[in-house]
Amino acid sequence: MQRIWISDIKEYVDKDIEIWGWLYNKRSKGKIHFLQLRDGTGRLQGIAVNGECDESSFNTLTEIKMEASLRVSGKVTADERSPGGYELQVKKISLIQNPASDYPIGKKEHGIDFLLENRHLWLRSTRPGAILRLRSQAIMSLRSFFHNRGYVLIDTPILTGSIGESSSSLFSVPYFDLGEAYLAQTGQLYLEAACMAFGKVYNFGPTFRAEKSKTRRHLTEFWMLEAEVAYLDSEGNMQLQEDMICHLVEDILANSTAELKALDRDIEALKKVKPPFPRLEYGEAIEKLHELGSDIKWGSDLGGQDETILTKQYEKPLFILNYPKKVKAFYMKENPYNPETVLCSDLLAPEGYGEIIGGSQREDSRERLIARIHEQELPEEAYRWYLELREFGSVPHSGYGLGLERVVTWLSGIQHIREASPFPRTITRIYP
Ligand code: 4AD
Ligand code: MG
In testing the pocket of ligand 1, which one of 191, 202, 222, 428 has its CB within 8 Å of the most ligand atoms?
222
Query: What distance in angstroms lies between residue 187's CA and the mean position of ligand 1's atoms?
Result: 11
Written as one string, the DSSP assignment of 193-237 is HHHHHHSEEEEEEEEE------STT--SEEEEEEEEEET--HHHH
Written as one string, the DSSP assignment of 311-326 is HTT-SS-EEEE--BGG
Topology, domain 119-420: BirA Bifunctional Protein; domain 2 (3.30.930)
| CATH code 2.40.50.140 region(s) in the chain | 2-97
Looking at ligand 1, which atom is closest to the CA of residue 228?
A: 12
Residue 190 is predicted with a pLDDT of 98
Distances (CA, A) of 259 to 26, 256, 322, 358, 369: 23, 5, 37, 27, 46
Over 90: is that where the pLDDT of 83 sits?
no
Beta pairing partners, 92: 73
Residue 164 is predicted with a pLDDT of 86
Which residue's CA is minimally distant from atom 7 of ligand 1? 401
- Which residue type sits at 233? D
Query: What distance in angstroms lies between residue 182's CA and the mean position of ligand 1's atoms?
Result: 16
Assess whether the C-beta atom of 324 lies below 6 angstroms from ligand 1. no
Assess whether the C-beta atom of 317 lies below 6 angstroms from ligand 1. no
Assess whether the C-beta atom of 227 lies below 6 angstroms from ligand 1. no
Written as one string, the DSSP assignment of 113-128 is HHHHHTHHHHTTSHHH
Query: What distance in angstroms lies between residue 355's CA and the mean position of ligand 1's atoms?
Result: 9
| CATH code 3.30.930.10 region(s) in the chain | 119-420
Residue 357 is predicted with a pLDDT of 98
Over 80: is that where the pLDDT of 107 sits?
no
193: nearest Cα among 230, 241, 225: 230
Residue 43 is predicted with a pLDDT of 96
The CATH number of 2-97 is 2.40.50.140
Distances (CA, A) of 384 to 50, 162, 298: 77, 10, 34
pLDDT over 90, % of the chain: 95
- Which residue type sits at 21? G
Residue 167 is predicted with a pLDDT of 87
H helices within 45-99, ranges in order?
55-63
pLDDT in tens, 348-407: 999 999 999 999 999 999 999 999 999 999 999 999 999 999 999 999 999 999 999 999
Q: Sorting pLDDT into bands at 50, 70 and 90, what band is 84?
A: confident
pLDDT in tens, 132-183: 999 999 999 999 999 999 999 999 999 999 888 888 899 999 999 999 999 9
Assess whether the C-beta atom of 359 lies below 6 angstroms from ligand 1. yes
pLDDT in tens, 26-81: 999 989 999 999 999 999 999 999 999 999 999 999 999 999 999 999 999 998 88
**Which ligand neighbours the alpha carbon of 398 most closely?**
1
Assess whether the C-beta atom of 230 lies below 6 angstroms from ligand 1. no
Beta pairing partners, 72: 19, 93
Assess whether the C-beta atom of 52 lies below 6 angstroms from ligand 1. no
Give the burial class of 180: count Cβ atoms within 10 A of its Cβ; 0-12 exposed, 13-18 middle, 19 or more buried: exposed
